[in-house]
């Protein structure tokens, strides 16, 4: 059983929902990331999504675009991201790690080579934003061979027919984008999210994580009432940006101060 499935199974048994924070690897520098990942776990993270920096992150708003720029400027490559995960795994064998990014750097690295290296590093899932189901056949097999979950995005505009096709390919969990737009772009309509999540449950038994627009403990708790996982990104990346000139321990404390209240409110 994969770490992701085990995590969601354990949470379901305990009546809790997954808290899934996102940060960009190598932001503000590669030597910061493991410390920040450990801080997220300390604050109650169940799964961690790690962004692989890319020069043209089309699904991301300015907050994560700038994080990618800082990371790339600091010399973060795909190989370096995998080294970061390897280092994290030396102290944490349990927390599932999902790499989130775009096809271009992975294609350049080589799908099979990337999948093999990700498995060796201790990666549990991969979300490639611009990988469509129609183009996924060969890629899916590379990851399935290494028991790495391939996670897909679903949006408010995804038709039921296409959602079914995507869910049939996905594993681990599916990521429902709660707003029309890029990351960090809009206010959250929880009633609309619930309606869409309920409709997705009619076509998949996979856990459903909801992201985009979750900024505080109140919205995290509200979303957790209908979703299996709450995905939090831009507010954390903003905190990294605001404190990028401080020591990594200071930034770690800032992330814990944001995430811990979300965990507490979700569990209340």
Q: Which tens digits make up the pLDDT trace of 205-228?
A: 999 999 988 999 999 999 999 999
Write out the two tokens for 43.
């604050």
Q: Which tens digits make up the pLDDT trace of 155-172?
A: 999 999 999 999 999 999
* DSSP tag of 53: P
* CB neighbours of residue 10 within 10 Å: 12
Cα four-point dihedral sign 70, 72, 73, 75: positive
CATH number for the region 3-267 comes to 3.20.20.70
Catalytic residue status for 134: no
Which SS3 state, helix, strand or coil, does residue 97 take? Answer: strand
Domain-wise residue ranges, the chain? 3-267
Q: Which tens digits make up the pLDDT trace of 87-141?
A: 999 999 999 999 999 999 999 999 999 999 999 999 999 999 999 888 888 888 9
Mark out the alpha helices in the chain (DSSP H runs).
3-14, 33-42, 62-73, 78-89, 103-109, 111-121, 137-145, 160-169, 190-201, 217-224, 234-242, 248-267
Q: Which tens digits make up the pLDDT trace of 172-208?
A: 999 999 875 444 445 678 888 999 999 999 999 999 9
Per the residue annotation, which of 49, 124, 228, 256 is the catalytic one? 49
Catalytic residue status for 138: no
**Percentage of residues of the chain with pLDDT beyond 90:** 86
Per the residue annotation, which of 27, 46, 60, 124 is the catalytic one? 60
Question: How many Å apart are CA 120 and CA 148, to the nearest integer?
Answer: 11
């Amino acid at each position: 059983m994969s770490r992701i499935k085990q995590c969601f199974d354990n949470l379901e048994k305990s009546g809790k929902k997954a808290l899934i924070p996102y940060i960009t690897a190598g932001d503000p520098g590669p030597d910061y990331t493991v410390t920040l990942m450990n801080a997220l776990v300390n604050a109650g993270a169940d799964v961690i999504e790690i962004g692989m920096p890319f020069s043209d992150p089309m699904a991301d708003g300015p907050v994560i675009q700038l994080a990618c720029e800082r990371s790339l400027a600091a010399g973060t490559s795909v190989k370096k991201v995998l080294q970061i995960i390897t280092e994290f795994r030396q102290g944490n064998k349990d927390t599932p790690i999902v790499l989130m990014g775009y096809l271009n750097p992975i294609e350049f690295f080589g799908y099979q080579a990337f999948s093999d290296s990700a498995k060796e590093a201790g990666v549990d899932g991969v979300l490639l934003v611009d990988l469509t189901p129609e183009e996924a056949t060969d890629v899916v097999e590379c990851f399935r061979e290494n028991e790495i979950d391939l996670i897909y995005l679903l949006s408010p505009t995804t038709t039921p027919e296409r959602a079914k096709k995507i869910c049939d390919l996905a594993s681990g969990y599916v990521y429902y984008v709660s707003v029309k737009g890029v990351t960090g772009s809009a206010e959250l309509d929880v009633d609309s999210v619930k309606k869409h999540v309920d409709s997705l449950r009619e076509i998949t038994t996979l856990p459903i994580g909801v992201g985009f627009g979750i900024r505080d403990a109140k919205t995290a708790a509200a979303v957790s009432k209908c979703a299996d996982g709450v995905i939090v990104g831009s507010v954390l990346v903003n905190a990294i940006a605001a404190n990028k000139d401080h020591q990594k321990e200071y930034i770690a404390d800032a992330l814990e101060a944001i995430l811990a209240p979300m965990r507490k409110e979700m569990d209340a």
